[in-house]
A and B are shown apart, each in its own frame.
Chain A
Amino acid sequence: MDDKDFKRVLEDGEKLLAYFESDLTRDGRFGCSYLLVTDKRAVVCDADLKVEVSVNLKDIRSVSVKDYIGNAELMVTLKDESVVILTRFSRALRKRFGDASRLLENLAFLRRVRREQVYEEEEVTAKSGTLRSILRFVLPYKWVLAAGMVAGVCGIFLGLLPPYFMKMLIDDVILGRKEELLAQVILAIIATQATSSLLGVIRSYSLSYVSLKAMYSIRIHLFKHIMRFQPSILDRYEAGRLISRITDDVGRVNWFLSWGLEQLLRSSISLISVSAMILLLEPRLSLIALIPMPILGLGVFLFRRKARWVYHYEWRRWADVSALLVDVIPGFPTVKAYSMEDHEAKKLKLKLSDVIKASLRSTKLSLQFFPMLGFVISAGTAIIWWLGGLEVLNGTLTLGTLSAFISYVSQFYGPIWTLVSMVEPMKRSSTAAERIYNLMRMRPEIRDTEDSVDLKIKGRITFENVSFGYLPYTYVLKNISFDIKPGEKIGIVGPTGSGKTTLAKLILRFYDVDEGRILIDGVDIRRIKLRSLRKQIGLVSQEPRLFNDTIANNIRYGKPDASLDEIIAAAKIAAAHDFILQKPLCYDTPCGESGSRLSGGERQRVAIARTVISDPQILVLDEATSSVDTITEDAIKKSLDEIAKGRTTIIIAHRLSTVKDADRLIVIDKGRLVEMGTHEELLRKGGLYAKLWNTQFLEQPAEAKV
């Protein structure tokens, strides 16, 4: 439907700004309805464009989206406090109506309208694109692939010879008593076998080579591609799913490249050439060989229709089992702490018995099908023996021809069998290829543009009316503005969940702001090269992750070319040097998987060292010392102060003693900046900060006095 149709809903001189199609009607049935947003009104109409609600923009006080189960509503509160429900929509359209709500809000408050609308990339797949994108990785090895294919095809043609030699052996040598030919025929048979074994080796090796190389490039390519994304990709794709793209899905495509493709080609070629041989050898009998074909065809058709669901069902049962294991095994200590071993075992039992049921179903299905197939084929062969036998007895057919024919017929059914059993894995591997292709086509939302600049950062940070939310319509930060001077030391405090970490992530541009802008040294961060930005901002995050490497290498992560002296110095700044020297291998001690062999506080200190070694111009410490005792924290503070001179430092902390001597404190509550000033100023003001301080001071007198 294009804009024209909406004209009749509009009043004179009214301009349509946007329309949003919903998938539910206002009375809660599946169907279509529209929300039109004009420069004057918000209008809701049904599929026939009958107006159901109309609200004047200037009457709107606030806009909200309420998230229910299975559906959600966009509603407005008017200035007279009445609430009007505009549209209902299923959760699939949350993002679309999140945009709608923001647009309405903007219009209602006469703010600037950004007319770009971002819809989620739909997961459409173009088949040809999928195949091409995979073949792209095979292309560099096309000659090896060709060699393999040629060897394979030659092998097939060679395979046609032995039955023919057999016929000669029986008819000419044995029955025809030409003894002089015996040695030659036997030699020919041996030579053919030897050559085809050799060709087989060439074929298998070159195909494995190509598929391994291709898998390697696909995996590396995928990995690099994923690494280009902003961290928020983990909000959309769980880590597990991304990992399985690189491992499982690529493996399934591998099946196609290393085995499927070749089998497909081989089976088709041998089917054609064997058919030709059969026809040439004995046209009458070949008709009999074809009798089972329609039955087979019907069988395959029926089987495929049914098997698809049965097999998919079975895979999903397996997926459930591994999902459970992936969830529970890393959470093992929690299971233990709650003594829930039996509970978890019960869950697993349930899932596994589902697997058994599903597997039995698919077994039953193939038991219905494959023996039937086998029976039809052997029946066909028996009939050939019967009719052929009669002809041999009648002397119209030689015994040699009959046995060659039978042997060709078995070669004829072989490829059919292969092709039939390949149907399912083919499907699986093409689905995997589609998934890989979809991921490869996704573009990172946050990326450098052509006019991105390298900036030598001095350290001024400006927030201008910044609003941001992870979900489209819920704000986590709302209208935040402040200006941090180069070299200033800023503390950010606020209740848990108030948006402090989010603010830090925005500075590193892990997410883009929804409204307003963030400037560094007066330049919008969306115009700064990502690398340049992130290299000069050091973030110690709330839950620092170390890698499974030595402590030294983890520190070096912040500066790959760091000298040993620098590693030690960085550790000293983070007050980590002494504990590291206590470890058996000091700086060469492995940290364990994601740092699991270090304590929480030790991990935090290594993370600080990793950050300070890179000499960042802006230092952001998000609860960086929360797991460290206060005496150690003090030591870190002292040395940090020394190196932080001249660098902008942002310290996020719950423990107010950590930040109290900052130049300025920013207090955030429910995503809004509520107070800003020095410790003394804020105490005098008696607002939220004073309240927080007093609670902590009363509860932890010893600490607060530090």
Chain B
Amino acid sequence: MTSIREFVKTSLRFADPRKVRFEYDRFHDSLNFYVDGMVYKNVEPVKPFPLSAPYYVILRVESGKDLCVIRDIRGLDESSRKALEYVLDRKYFIPVIRRVLDITYTGEFFVCKVETDKGVRTFKLRGRRRSVFKMDDKIVLFDMDENIYLIESYEKLDPKSKEELMKLL
């Protein structure tokens, strides 16, 4: 009998971030992955838990197969991490909301003006049920165009932002 824990070992391969290396190939816009003396060209990094565990990354090869898992990419060396994050940051554009400036309700949708780590932005949200999603202390907002915004910690927001957010929650 295989328990799920054992099945993890047979179905997933784990790479030690200290023993692997990434290189970004600007010419081909591809990410190269060096492990055990081998090089995999054009690997595709995927964050299976982009919000709840943003440092957990699966590397996939072109055929769509999982190559291996890096449990915490913060263990990578400086330049590898930069290369990897360059690709990931383009793929996962999830602005983190620092302050909520204003929320108004038009009777049909909410208009939110926020200050994010990527700049100030105004976007529209359809009702509360479909577009606001709470995960523990995190809040994820899906706007009408399916863009995603993240509030990393509701508790840590300033009082003014919290008060604005109350219109929405």
Residues of A within 8 A of B (CB): 487, 550, 552, 559, 562-566, 568-570, 572-573, 577-578, 580-581, 584-588, 590, 593, 612-615, 642-643, 645-647
Contact = CB atoms under 8 A, between A and B. Distances in A.
A613 B4 contact: yes
A569 B49 contact: no
Contacts of B56: 564
24 contacts: A550-B52, A552-B49, A564-B71, A565-B8, A565-B69, A565-B71, A568-B8, A569-B7, A569-B11, A572-B11, A573-B7, A573-B11, A581-B48, A581-B58, A585-B50, A585-B51, A586-B48, A587-B49, A588-B135, A612-B4, A613-B4, A643-B2, A643-B4, A643-B7
Interface in B1-59: 1-5, 7-8, 11-12, 14, 46-53, 56, 58
B4 A647 contact: no
Contacts of B51: 585, 588
B146 A568 contact: no
A647 B6 CA distance: 15
B12 A569 contact: yes
Contacts of A586: 46-50
Contacts of B58: 568, 581
A179 to B, nearest CB: 53
A585 B52 CA distance: 10
A37 to B, nearest CB: 51
Interface residues of B, number: 31
Given A588-B135, A643-B7, A564 B49 contact: yes
Contacts of B165: none
B64 interface: yes
B133 interface: yes
A570 B64 CA distance: 18
Interface string B52-93: 110010101000101001010000000000000000000000
Nearest to A581: B46
Contact of B1 (A577, A593, A647): A647
3 tightest A-B CB contacts, nearest first: A646-B1, A569-B8, A588-B51
A586 B45 CA distance: 13
A544 to B, nearest CB: 19
Contacts of B48: 564, 568, 580-581, 586-587
A572 B148 CA distance: 27
A564 B135 CA distance: 16
B148 A584 contact: yes
B12 A588 contact: no
Interface in B89-134: 129, 133
A565 B135 contact: no
Given A573-B7, A587-B48, A642-B7, 17 more contacts: A552-B49, A564-B53, A565-B14, A566-B5, A566-B8, A578-B64, A580-B48, A581-B48, A584-B146, A585-B140, A586-B50, A588-B52, A590-B133, A614-B4, A615-B4, A643-B2, A646-B1
B112 to A, nearest CB: 19
A566 B52 contact: no
Contacts of B129: 593
A428 B151 CA distance: 44
Interface of B: 1-5, 7-8, 11-12, 14, 46-53, 56, 58, 60, 64, 66, 69, 71, 129, 133, 135, 140, 146, 148
Contacts of B49: 552, 564, 586-588
Given A573-B7, A587-B49, A550 B64 contact: no
B128 to A, nearest CB: 13
Contacts of A584: 146, 148
A566 B69 CA distance: 12
Contacts of B50: 585-586, 588
Contacts, number: 80
B151 to A, nearest CB: 14
Nearest to B47: A586
A286 B11 CA distance: 92
B32 to A, nearest CB: 21
Contacts of B140: 585, 588
A577 B46 CA distance: 12
Nearest to A586: B48
Contacts of B3: 615
Contacts of A552: 49, 52
A552 B47 CA distance: 13
A647 B3 CA distance: 10
Interface hub of A585, A642, A643 (most chain B Cβ within 10 A): A585
B136 to A, nearest CB: 10
B55 to A, nearest CB: 10
Contacts of B47: 586
Interface hub of A584, A586, A588, A590 (most chain B Cβ within 10 A): A588
A290 B86 CA distance: 88
Contact of B4 (A487, A570, A587): A570
Contacts of A613: 4
A578 B4 CA distance: 18
A640 B60 CA distance: 23
A572 B11 CA distance: 8
A286 B46 CA distance: 86
Contacts of A615: 3-4
Contacts of B1: 487, 643, 645-647
A604 B7 CA distance: 21
A373 B48 CA distance: 71
Interface hub of B48, B52, B69, B135 (most chain A Cβ within 10 A): B48
A568 B46 contact: no
A581 B5 CA distance: 21
Contacts of A566: 4-5, 8
Nearest to A570: B4
Contacts of B66: 577
A484 to B, nearest CB: 16
A335 B50 CA distance: 38
A23 B58 CA distance: 70
Contacts of A564: 48-49, 53, 56, 71
Interface hub of A563, A572, A586, A612 (most chain B Cβ within 10 A): A586
Contacts of B8: 563, 565-566, 568-569
B110 to A, nearest CB: 18
A615 B3 CA distance: 6
A590 B53 CA distance: 15
A588 B58 CA distance: 14
Contact of A550 (B60, B71, B135, B148): B135
Nearest to B46: A581
Nearest to A614: B4
Contacts of A573: 7, 11
A612 B64 CA distance: 24
Contacts of A550: 52, 135
Contacts of A612: 4
Nearest to A459: B1
A563 to B, nearest CB: 8
A403 to B, nearest CB: 49
A608 to B, nearest CB: 12
B92 to A, nearest CB: 9
Contacts of A590: 133
A585 B2 CA distance: 30
Interface hub of B11, B52, B64 (most chain A Cβ within 10 A): B11
Contacts of B69: 565, 568
A647 B14 CA distance: 27
B13 to A, nearest CB: 11
